[in-house]
Every structure is written in C-alpha cells, then in structure tokens.
C-alpha cells in the first residue's frame, strides 16, 4: 500500500493506506483522530466537516490521496492549546450542544463561514447544511452571530 | 432567539463569570437574586398566597405523595453514601388518581432506588453513578446540579458517571417516558444531603464542636471562628467502616441556589472540542471496525454468501461472518469494511413484509377504524388525519463495541435499557447473564432509538464469530432503512355540539403496533400491580397512560387500535402524543372554527386548570398580531408527564409549497424547573422535530423497505428550515411543584401549531403528514 503524507492539526503524518480510502477513516481508524464524526459517508450530513487548507471540506467524501502534501485541520486542532477558538467560546455561552454529535462539524462549518465573511447574514447562515438531529439550530445561529461580534 | 426567554437573557450577563471562575457559592446566590427570571417572579405571584415561609419541617416532606428515602453510609476508605427507599415509609405507594406513564415506571423503580451511590474523594471530587443514559437531554447536568445543591459544593466538583448494566436495579435503569428527573429528584438529593451532613459531622469532630455549628459552602466546612476544611480533607474522616444510617434533611426550596438556575451543560467543553467520547471513539484494544450487509427487505434472511473468500481477500478486510440479521465484514478501517460489505454477493431469503407499501398500509390503518363512528343526524364535526412513519435517525448511527472471549463478554453501547440489553446479548451468544458486562456510553442522540439494543447484540455475535473485539457500526442507509421507525398512524375524530358548545369528543387512533418490549413492558407490568389496567396489552396501557385531552369537550373517549404488522417500530419522542395529541390539537382548531370561535379563546375556555391557562396565555401574548400577506399564526397546547406547554408559530406560507416557520413562542411549565436552560433546549429540540415531521420528513415504504436512506432523502429540518426568532418562556410551577417530565413534552404542541398556521395561511387544512411528502430523489440500491 502506498504511503500517504499530509499535515493534520499542524503535524506531518505518513500513513500506509490505499489512495481511494476516504480520509475520514484514515483520521479515525488509522490516526485515532476521532473528533470528526461519521453521519452519512456521502457528503450529506456534514458531521465530519473539517478544514483543508483553511476551507471547509468533508473527509468522508475525500480520498486520502487528494490531501497529499496539504494541511488538514479537525476540531481537535481548532483551539490554541487550552485557549478555545472564539466560535467554541460562543458555543459554550449559548450552551448549543445537546447530544453534541454534530457539533464538531457545526463548529468547523461556522469557523469556515466566518473566515469568508466577518458579518454573516441570516441567509448565509441558512446555507450551512449540517444536520443537527437534536434541533439546536436556533442556538447555532445565535452562537455564530455572537462569535462574529466577538471576532 | 434574539428575544429569547428572559432567563436566557439574564444568563448571558451572569454566566461567564461562573464558567470562568467556578461556582462561587455566595456569588451564585447574589446573582440569582439579581437575575431571577421575570417569569419565575411573575408566576410566583400567581401562587404567592399559597406560599408561606417554608417551615423547617418541610425540609423533609414525606406527605403529598412524596416518598422518603434513607441514606446509608457505606463502608469505604473515603466518604461513600448509598440511598434506598425507607422500608418504613414505603406505603403501598398510591398512584395519583390519573397516573401517567412516568408515574407507573417510577413506581416500578421504587423498590430498588437504594442503589444510588455517591462518593467524595480526597481531592474533593464528588463521583455519582447514574443508572440512566445521557442522550443529549442534559440529564447528567441536571443530576450534577441536584448533587451540588444539596452538597454545597461547586458544580465543577461533581462528576456524573453512567452506570453499567446492574441487573439488581431491576426496573430502575430505564431511561424513557421523560421520567429520569422525576424519579431521581428525591433520592439524588437525599444522597448528597447525607454526604454533606456527614462531612459537617466529621469537621465538628475534628474541631471539638457541635455539628450544628458547622456551616458548609463551596465544598468546604466552616466554623464561625474562621476555621475551615475542604471536603477533600474531610473525606477520609467522614468515611465509615461499617454500614450505618445517616439522617438527612433536604434543603427547603427557598434555600436553593442552583436548582432553578439556568445552567450550561457540564460536558459542554468536551462537546465543543471533540473530546467527548462516544461508543466508536472509545479505544478498546484490538477492536476492529465491523459493518453488516443487510437484506433488501425488512427482516429478510441470509440464505448463502456466494463470494465470502473474494471479499476476505479485499484490501484491509479481516473476516466475513454471517449473523442472523445479515453478513458482517470486519476490516482495518470502516471504509474498508464498507467496501467489503458492498462487494458481498448474498442470496437473501424473504422477510415478513416484502410486499408492503404505503398504500396497502394506509388502507389497512383506515380500515381498522372505518366503522368507528355511527352515522349521526345531530350537529357534529368529523375529521381524519394520517401520519407517515418517521425514522429516529439519531446522528450517531446504531453502534456498539464488543469483546467476546470464551468465558465472558464485554460490551460498550449507548443503551437506555441496559439490563435488558445485557440479557439479550447473553442470550444471543449463549453465555450466562452473569458473564456479560455491559457499559453504557453517552449517546449521539436517541429519540427512543436507544431503547433497542440490536447493535449490541450484533457486535457480540460478530465478535464471537471472528474471535476478536469489534467496533460495529451501521451505515446511515441501513440505519434509516433497517432501523426503527415511529409507526404510521391514522386518526379519526368526531365532536358533537349544540348551541355553540361541544357535547362529546371521540378520537379513534389506528397505529401499526408499537414495539414496546425491551424493558418497558416488564416495568409497566410491575408498576401496575393493583391498577385496573393490569392485564391489558402493554401498548394499550401506554396509550391509556399517555394520551389525555386537557380540554373539557364533554364526554371524551380516546381509543387505540393496533395493527400487527411486522415493521420494526419503536416509540419516537413523545410516543403516542406526537401524532395523537397533535391530531387532537388540529381538530380543536377546526371545531373552534365551526363554532365561530377564535382558536386561542376556545382553548382557553375549555382548558381545565389555571396552570394550563397560564401557559397558554404566556405563549399567546402576541396572538393576532399583524403579519405579512401569506403568513399566519397557529397555536397548539399539550400537557403530559406533569408538565404543560403551549406554542404559537408565525408561518410564512407565501409559497404554500415551501412554508417556513419564521417565529415561535413557547411557554412551558415543567413543575419545579431544575435547569431552565436545559428545559429550553428540550423545547427547541421538540420544535425542530415538529417542523421536520409536520412539513417535510417522513418515510415511504415500498416493497418491504423504506425508500429513504440518508438525510438527503429523509428531510429532517436544517438551518434553512429553522425560525429566525424563538422565545421559550419557562414558567415556574409554584412552591409545591415537583419536577415534571420534559424530554418528550415539546413535540405535539408545535406540530399542531404549524399545521394550524398552514391551514389559516392557505385556507387548506392539511390531513396528511408530512404536508409535503414528495419523493424527490433516486433511492439507493437495496
Ligand atoms: S459523514 Fe461526512 S458528510 Fe456525513
Ligand atoms: S447536538 Fe445532537 S445532532 Fe446536533
């Protein structure tokens, strides 16, 4: 099997995996990085949302070979040590999470949105397609706005 | 939530300090006074006359249906307390006149309530073992609040662990029917209060003084002369070398500083940093990913695997094993297990419902109540409603980890009924129960799904077959198609009336049989001893205990007809009420219209209690306000589990094909509100469920299988379907109130409110749900 080399949360890693293996399983099963969640495997639920070179992407639908030499950030890499990212802080303030299973993906999607626009409109927030089966959308919207104000 | 509930707003100002600095007892008390929710204040007005200064004796109030619990010191190196039901005080615990499902399950749980355990460690940490499951409902937070309150210790010091399956708890380890806080409120507080008193006693002993002179605050014991000791320092001295009873006095309500205060989740930080470990995030040494290929129809069977060797030769695949529900592939990664499962060539046997489709099912359901009402000459209103089956679809798919060796098995799973799960696993792999250990892991959602332990059984079967530990996960497609569903229902309603007033109300509900085994059935039977319902089928009992009309509509009768169809059904958040009570609330609107009355005024006149009206009034504060063309308001009410709620929505139906709830106002009285912030979260969840199941989310059955296989097809609500503004008003139930149930309360009222708003906006009453049931996708191959 070929070696795959890329960066995860600032560290360069090399794993032995077939080119077409979805990155989600390289992260979760081979590297033990289990913040990104499986919710569908086909780029629909967005539970696995992480960043590739700073932009939101879905590792469940990205073959590992496609990230060779690139930089992947998962929820584990968002905080700066013990200092949480402002979006995580906003999530705490609004007490967004219920079961929490979708929240790593929601937070990574929100961070990516705030990178694109510092003052997202309601319509832009509506475009975040991440499923929250517990129905925390109202608090997510508030948290994104609070984070935008803070950043 | 820009104009969120008052309490939520006030939280914003006071909470960061609390989070940052740890709960300073005195500060908390101050800020509570400063920020006491307007509603709490307002509603205590409602009941003020009845609130005398709480007498000291009310610290232990055995009366008013309250049962007494005994605290025991347990022989252990540091302070350890257990709680049991006081055998003296345990009467033939009378059920309230109109018991609900939670009452009955609580009664079943009573005899074993003594097995709650709390321990204070030498660093002052308090460990509490919770015989329930956390599925996102915030139970561990509410329980930690109860502990911290009675123990006078900061919330951060309390760790709540999910107890593994403990068969000796019999009926006291079932998470369901919104009964957790209802059943744990007294015993948990008793355990913590006993620990506090023992710590004060130990401090007094050290200081050579009277325990009465010792005060406790912030996890420390204090004496007026300035001496103080932390609980950690006292934990060893407070321990006991033998079992002994510890007298307890619970705090009077007026002294509560934490209970009733909007509080954030204790696990919030883990949840936002990705550190929370769900079942498949656990590091179980050697456990390999496993997935199961399932038959093309529900409950079909495996006849033969044609290419096992070829699949075993695929990259990363370790083994292929046939189990009763399908063919498992074990691999190095889930990606490879999935590829292996898809490559399998299996000859399948038929299942029990291979021919079943929506139309046949619908006809059967209608047929079951076709002759419900005789022809009638007098004035009457008839209406019918249909609800599609819906998937539980928790975001974490069905999963479990199992390690089965020759003489023992260990299983980790999100389980709401772990005792039944453990037994089912033992039976499935032919081990005595005693050799199976089942650990309960926090779940990524449930909505009723985790009452079933099919994944735990499968994981054990696969582990046994391949002789290695496995992490078993269902694909989303399988989870949606082969998982459980809320049974489809049909409702027939009739009211008779004369002179502008209803004379009688009937509701005949037909439902595909709901699978309520797995712990529920036995617990119900045990709790029902001596009730006239004993001997009825479990589902009939559950129906009778849960579906009640809050209105005076004259002679009222509700009946359930169950259809024995072999679909994998299960209770789905709010059991019968999500459809049954929602249908009634739509019918009430229609009846009001027929009688020429306003829907809110009609309800108000027909509700039976002041508490119900208070909730309706609060939610309907903006009723009748000016709205744009194409918009309309709708209202719904629901009472269950000793709690009540009303909801008013503003629906934008300018495009009737794409309606959107733009604003919602919810009022809720859940009795003694332990954590208003958690209650608000549950109501938001119920609202989102209502938006989804009323407007767009439902399963279609075709040739014995749901067509929907992912969230792109089963249209659970997304951010774009969610309102821009929601207010949740948490009312206080008054000084005597005990906590009501909250987990399931929030669905029926908004379902009806949305449907009623749709009817008012479009002039067309929806009869079938979801309102938009279009199939807009190409189903995945079977
Ligand atoms: S798991 Fe990646 S989008 Fe659903
Ligand atoms: S918090 Fe449970 S799925 Fe979003």
Q: What is the pLDDT of residue B114?
A: 54
Q: Is ligand 1 within 6 A of the CB of residue A131? A: no
The whole-angstrom distance between A56's CA and the closest CA on chain B is: 16
The number of C-alpha atoms within 13 Å of B316 and in the hemisphere containing its C-beta is 26
Give distance in angstroms: CA of A105 to centre of ligand 2. 10
Q: Per the CB < 8 Å rule, is B717 touching A134?
A: no
In CATH, what class is B485-769? alpha beta
- Lookup: tokens for B709: 């296989």
- Say what the ipTM of the complex is: 0.98
Cβ(B263)–Cβ(B677) under 8 Å? yes
DSSP helix/strand/coil, B528:
helix
Q: How far from the centroid of its chain's Cα atoms is residue B111's Cα? A: 23
Q: What is the pLDDT of residue B39?
A: 37
Q: Summarize the confidence of residues B726-737 as an average pLDDT.
A: 92
Cβ(B445)–Cβ(B394) under 8 Å? yes
Does the domain at B49-273 match CATH 3.30.365.10? Answer given as: yes
Closest CA to A100 of B284, B715, B265, B676: B265
Residue of A41, A102, A104, A112 best suited for mutating to test ligand 1, as the one with most atoms within 8 Å of CB: A41
pLDDT at B29 > cutoff 50? no
Nearest-atom index, ligand 2, CA of A100: 1
pLDDT at B519 > cutoff 80? no
Q: Summarize the confidence of residues B383-402 as an average pLDDT.
A: 98
- Lookup: tokens for B288: 């390999």
Cβ(B236)–Cβ(B62) under 8 Å? no
Query: Number of CB pairs < 8 Å for A and B?
Result: 201
Give the residue on A whose Cα is nearest the Cα of B661.
A138
B24 vs B78 pLDDT, higher one: B78
Do B279-351+398-473 and B485-769 show the same overall fold?
yes
Instruction: State the architecture of B279-351+398-473 in CATH terms.
Output: 2-Layer Sandwich (3.30)
Q: What is the pLDDT of residue B87?
A: 62
Q: Is ligand 2 within 6 A of the CB of residue B167? A: no
Question: Mean pLDDT across chain A, nearest whole number?
Answer: 97
Q: Is ligand 2 within 6 A of the CB of residue A61? A: no
Q: In chain A, what are the domains?
A: 3-77 (3.10.20.30), 86-150 (1.10.150.120)
Cβ(B442)–Cβ(B414) under 8 Å? yes
Span A99-136, pLDDT tens digits: 999 999 999 999 999 999 999 999 999 999 999 999 99
Span B168-195, pLDDT tens digits: 777 778 887 777 888 889 899 999 999 9
Among the partner residues A32, A76, A131, nearest to B711 by beta-carbon distance: A131
Strand-pair partners of B509: B491, B560
**Domain limits, chain B:** 49-273, 279-351+398-473, 485-769
pTM for the whole thing?
A: 0.90
Q: Per the CB < 8 Å rule, is A18 touching B316?
A: yes
Question: Which B positions 322-351 lie with beta carbon below 8 A of chain A?
Answer: 332-336, 338
Which chain A residues are closer than 8 Å to B711 by Cβ? Answer: 39-40, 44-45, 131
**How far is the C-alpha of B481 from the C-alpha of B708, rounded, in Å?**
7
**How far is the C-alpha of A140 from the C-alpha of B4, rounded, in Å?**
14
Taking CB atoms within 8 Å and a gap of at least 24, the contacts of B83-89 are B83/B113, B83/B114, B83/B115, B83/B116, B83/B187, B83/B188, B83/B190, B83/B191, B83/B194, B84/B113, B84/B114, B84/B115, B85/B110, B85/B111, B85/B113, B85/B114, B89/B62
The whole-angstrom distance between B447's CA and the closest CA on chain A is: 9
Q: For chain B, what percent of residues have pLDDT higher than 70?
A: 85
Among the partner residues A1, A92, A140, nearest to B264 by beta-carbon distance: A92
Question: Which B positions 657-716 lie with beta carbon below 8 A of chain A?
Answer: 677, 681, 684-689, 710-712, 716
Q: What is the pLDDT of residue B12?
A: 28
Give the residue on A whose Cα is nearest the Cα of B473.
A38
Q: Summarize the confidence of residues A14-36 as an average pLDDT.
A: 97
Span A59-101, pLDDT tens digits: 999 999 999 999 999 999 999 999 999 999 999 999 999 999 9
**How far is the C-alpha of B535 from the C-alpha of B509, rounded, in Å?**
21
Q: Is ligand 2 within 6 A of the CB of residue A107? A: no
pLDDT at B56 > cutoff 70? no
């Amino acid at each position: 099997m070929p070696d795959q080399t890329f960066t995860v949360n600032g560290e360069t890693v090399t794993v032995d995996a077939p080119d077409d293996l979805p990155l989600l399983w390289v992260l979760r099963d081979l590297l033990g990085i289990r913040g990104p969640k499986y919710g569908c495997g086909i780029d629909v639920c967005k539970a696995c949302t992480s960043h590739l070179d700073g932009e939101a992407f879905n590792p469940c639908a990205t073959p590992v070979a496609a990230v060779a030499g690139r930089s992947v950030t998962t929820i584990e890499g968002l905080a700066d040590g013990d200092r949480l990212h402002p979006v995580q802080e906003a999530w705490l303030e609004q007490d967004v999470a219920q079961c929490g299973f979708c929240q790593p993906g929601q937070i990574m999607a929100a961070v990516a949105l705030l990178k694109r626009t510092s003052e997202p409109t309601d319509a832009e927030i509506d475009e975040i397609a991440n499923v929250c089966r517990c129905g925390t959308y109202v608090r997510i919207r508030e948290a994104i706005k609070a984070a935008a104000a803070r950043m | 939530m820009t104009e969120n509930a008052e309490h939520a707003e006030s939280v914003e100002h006071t909470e960061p300090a609390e989070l940052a600095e740890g709960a300073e007892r005195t500060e908390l008390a101050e800020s509570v006074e400063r920020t006491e929710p307007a509603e709490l204040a307002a509603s205590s007005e409602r009941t003020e006359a009845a609130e005398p200064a709480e007498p000291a004796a009310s610290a232990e109030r055995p009366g008013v249906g309250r049962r007494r619990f005994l605290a025991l010191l347990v022989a252990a190196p540091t302070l350890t307390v257990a709680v049991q039901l006081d055998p003296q005080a345990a009467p033939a615990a009378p059920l309230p006149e109109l018991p609900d499902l939670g009452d009955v399950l609580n009664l079943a749980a009573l005899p074993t309530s003594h097995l709650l355990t709390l321990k204070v460690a030498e660093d002052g940490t308090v460990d509490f073992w919770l015989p329930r499951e956390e599925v996102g409902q915030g139970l561990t937070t509410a329980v930690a609040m109860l502990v911290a309150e009675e123990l006078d210790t900061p919330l951060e010091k309390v760790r709540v662990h999910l107890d593994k399956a403990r068969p000796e708890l019999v009926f006291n380890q079932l998470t369901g029917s919104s009964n957790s806080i209802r059943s744990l409120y007294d015993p948990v507080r008793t355990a913590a209060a006993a620990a506090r008193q023992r710590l004060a006693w130990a401090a007094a002993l050290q200081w050579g003084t009277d325990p009465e002179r010792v005060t406790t605050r912030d996890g420390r014991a204090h004496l007026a002369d300035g001496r103080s000791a932390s609980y950690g320092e006292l934990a060893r001295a407070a321990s006991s070398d033998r079992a002994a009873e510890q007298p307890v006095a619970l705090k009077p309500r007026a002294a509560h500083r934490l209970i009733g205060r909007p509080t954030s989740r204790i696990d919030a930080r883990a949840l936002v940093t990705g550190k929370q470990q769900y079942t498949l995030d656990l590091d179980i040494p050697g456990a390999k990913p496993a997935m199961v290929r399932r038959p093309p129809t529900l409950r079909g069977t495996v006849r033969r695997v044609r290419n096992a060797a070829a699949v075993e030769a695929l990259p990363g695949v370790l083994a292929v094993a046939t189990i009763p529900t399908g063919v498992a592939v074990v691999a190095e990664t889930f990606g490879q297990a999935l590829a292996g499962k898809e490559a399998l060539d299996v000859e399948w046997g038929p299942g029990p419902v291979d021919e079943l489709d929506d139309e046949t099912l619908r006809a059967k359901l209608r047929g079951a109540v076709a002759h419900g009402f005789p022809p009638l000459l007098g004035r009457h209103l008839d209406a019918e409603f249909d609800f599609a089956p819906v998937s539980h679809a928790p975001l974490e798919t069905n999963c479990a980890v199992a390690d089965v060796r020759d003489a023992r098995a260990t299983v980790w799973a999100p389980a709401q009924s772990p005792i039944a799960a453990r037994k089912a696993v033992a039976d499935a792999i032919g081990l005595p129960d005693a050799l199976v250990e089942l650990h309960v892991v926090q779940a990524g959602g449930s909505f009723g799904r985790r009452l079933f332990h099919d994944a735990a059984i499968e994981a054990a079967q696969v582990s046994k077959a391949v002789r290695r530990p496995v992490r078993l996960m269902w694909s989303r497609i399988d989870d949606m198609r082969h998982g459980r569903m809320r049974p489809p229902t049909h409702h027939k309603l009739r009211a008779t009336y004369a002179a502008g007033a209803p004379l009688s109300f009937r509701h005949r509900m037909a439902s595909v049989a709901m699978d309520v085994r797995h712990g529920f059935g036995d617990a119900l039977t045990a709790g029902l001893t001596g009730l006239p319902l004993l001997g009825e089928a479990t589902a009939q009992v559950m129906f009778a205990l849960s579906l009640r009309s809050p209105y005076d509509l004259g002679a009222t009768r509700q009946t359930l007809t169950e259809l024995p169809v072999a679909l994998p059904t299960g209770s789905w958040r709010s059991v019968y009420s999500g459809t049954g009570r929602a249908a009634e609330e739509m019918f009430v609107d229609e009846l009001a219209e027929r009688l020429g009355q306003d829907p809110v005024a009609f309800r108000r006149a027909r509700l039976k209690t002041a508490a119900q009206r208070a909730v309706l009034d609060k939610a309907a504060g903006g009723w009748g306000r000016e709205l744009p063309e194409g918009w309309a308001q709708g209202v719904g009410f629901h009472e269950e589990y000793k709690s009540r709620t009303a909801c008013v929505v503003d629906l934008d139906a300018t495009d009737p094909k794409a309606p959107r709830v733009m604003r919602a106002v919810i009022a809720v009285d859940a009795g003694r509100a332990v954590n208003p912030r958690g209650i608000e979260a549950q109501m938001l969840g119920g609202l989102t469920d209502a938006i989804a199941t009323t407007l767009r989310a439902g399963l279609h059955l075709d040739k014995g299988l749901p067509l929907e296989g992912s969230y792109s097809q089963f249209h659970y609500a997304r951010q774009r379907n969610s309102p821009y503004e929601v207010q949740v008003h948490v009312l206080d139930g008054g000084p005597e109130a005990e906590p009501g149930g909250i987990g399931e309360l929030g669905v029926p009222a908004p379902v009806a409110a949305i449907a009623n708003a749709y009817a008012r906006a479009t002039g067309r009453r929806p009869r079938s749900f979801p309102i938009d049931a279009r199939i807009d996708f190409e189903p995945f191959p079977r």
